């Protein structure tokens, strides 16, 4: 048991898929995992463990925003010895290099959050994905002919931005998508010396105004979850 996760230490796998929405954790477990067991429902933040292609995998909701994700990621790393977390989420498109239904592989995550100022003072830490995980995920995406674009994410604190000009500036610097969690995940993985990656399907586009239907969103999300699971299987083969 940790403060926010009601699981025994061995109930959580070394590799975790982390959607923002806890119902998506349930959907991942019920759709892709063999013999899924729910290990958490504290605050409705559902978590499950099962196996995929013979490898133990967990699916744990993070909630929305960096403070919420940080609680779960911190406890998974510190109390459950989790080695790898792959965030599977959505983002808003910022760059014309991406369109809706593409998968952004978040190489780095800029943020307007104060969380890293509390950690590093005046130094601007650069939250980045684990290179091995990113490299393997990119290969898996390529082999599966998925529309993967690797580049920067903007982890914003506010969904309803009071300063859209900041987002435009970041888009001008090549940032591909806006979401709300990756920077905290990458920072915590760095703190604990573990691996993390954020994969985000582009659900809507802030510049072109393009949107996806609920069904398209579901299909793209499904392809991306398989990409994340296959990445975990391949990482598992390497480390054992
Ligand atoms: N902003 C923040 N997070 C998001 C967005 C957005 O426009 N779209 C999907 N996740």
Q: Which of 90, 210, 212, 221 for mutating ligand 1's site (highest number of atoms within 8 Å of CB)?
A: 90
User: How far does the chain reach from its first CA to its final CA, in angstroms?
Assistant: 27
Is the Cα torsion angle 144, 147, 149, 153 positive or negative in sign? negative
Residue 237: its pLDDT value, please?
72
Spans of the chain, pLDDT less than 70: 239-240
Measured from the CA of 161, which atom of ligand 1 is nearest? 1
Q: Which of 122, 204, 223, 236 is catalytic?
A: 204
Q: Which residue has the tokens 């369109």?
A: 99
Query: How far is 65 from 157, CA to CA, in rounded Å?
Result: 6
Residue 238: its pLDDT value, please?
72
Residue 71 CB less than 6 A away from ligand 1 = no
**In b/e form, how buried is each residue of 63-82, taking b as 16+ CB within 10 angstroms?**
bebbebbbbbbbbbbebbeb
Instruction: Give yes or no: 204 in active site.
Output: yes
Q: What is the pLDDT of residues 37-74, one digit of tens each?
A: 999 999 999 999 999 999 999 999 999 999 999 999 99
Contacts of 178 (CB under 8 A, 6+ apart): 91, 92, 94, 153, 154, 156, 167, 206
Residue 180 CB less than 6 A away from ligand 1 = yes
Which domains are present in the chain? 11-239 (3.40.50.1580)
Determine which residue's CA is closest to atom 2 belonging to ligand 1. 179
Residue 179 CB less than 6 A away from ligand 1 = yes
Residue 98: its pLDDT value, please?
97
Residue 91 CB less than 6 A away from ligand 1 = yes
Residue 1: its pLDDT value, please?
84
Measured from the CA of 204, which atom of ligand 1 is nearest? 8
Residue 240: its pLDDT value, please?
44
């Amino acid at each position: 048991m940790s403060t926010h996760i009601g699981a025994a230490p061995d109930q959580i796998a070394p590799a975790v898929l982390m959607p923002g929405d806890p119902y998506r954790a349930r959907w991942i477990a019920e759709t892709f995992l063999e013999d899924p067991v729910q290990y958490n429902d504290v605050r409705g933040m559902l978590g499950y463990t099962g196996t995929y292609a013979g490898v133990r995998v967990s699916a744990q909701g993070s909630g929305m925003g960096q403070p919420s994700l940080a609680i779960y990621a911190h406890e998974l790393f510190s109390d459950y010895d989790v080695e790898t977390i792959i965030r599977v989420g959505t983002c808003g498109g910022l760059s014309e290099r991406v369109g809706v239904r593409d998968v952004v592989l978040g190489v780095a995550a800029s943020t307007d959050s104060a969380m890293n100022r509390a950690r590093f003072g005046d130094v601007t830490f650069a939250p980045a994905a684990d290179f091995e995980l990113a490299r393997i995920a990119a290969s898996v995406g390529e082999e599966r002919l998925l529309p993967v674009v690797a580049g920067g994410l903007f982890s914003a604190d506010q969904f309803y931005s009071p300063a859209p000009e900041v987002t435009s500036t970041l888009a001008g610097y090549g940032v591909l998508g806006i979401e709300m969690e990756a920077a905290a995940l990458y920072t915590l993985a760095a703190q604990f010396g573990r691996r993390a990656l954020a994969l985000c399907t582009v659900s809507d586009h802030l510049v072109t105004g393009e949107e996806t239907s609920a069904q398209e969103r579901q299909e793209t999300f499904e392809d991306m979850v398989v990409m994340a699971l296959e990445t975990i299987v391949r990482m598992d083969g390497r480390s054992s």
